[in-house]
């Protein structure tokens, strides 16, 4: 059975720590996923008072969720 969502973590590149987690529908196009993740990245940067360039995201693979 195909997963209905993809899960992402936002990581502070200066500390290496994941500081936010977010999920998106799995059926979104690659462009839409990038657009949505960029919006979330900006919000996380503002909330945590860090530069957006300090953040990056990674998809959390199934193995990591267990």
Query: Looking at the domain assignment, is residue 55 inside a domain?
Result: yes
In a domain, 31, yes or no: yes
Q: How far is CA 17 from the centre of its chain?
A: 13
Number of domains, the chain? 1
Question: What pLDDT is stored for residue 30 in this prediction?
Answer: 94
What mean pLDDT is predicted for residues 22-34? 95
Residue 1 lies in a domain: no
Predicted TM-score (pTM) of the model is 0.85
CA distance 20 to 8: 8
Domain that holds residue 32: 9-15+24-60
Query: Rounded to a whole number, what is the largest CA-CA distance in the chain?
Result: 40
| Reported confidence tier of residue 29, pLDDT bands at 50, 70, 90 | very high
Quick count: other Cβ atoms within 10 Å of Cβ 4? Answer: 9
Structure tokens given for 59: 């998809």
pLDDT surpassing 80 at residue 65: no
């Amino acid at each position: 059975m195909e997963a209905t969502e993809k899960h992402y973590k936002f990581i502070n590149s200066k500390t290496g720590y994941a500081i936010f987690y977010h999920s998106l529908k799995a059926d979104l196009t690659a462009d839409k996923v990038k657009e949505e993740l960029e919006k979330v990245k900006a919000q996380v940067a503002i909330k945590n008072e860090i530069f957006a360039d300090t953040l990056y995201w990674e998809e959390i693979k199934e193995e990591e969720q267990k």
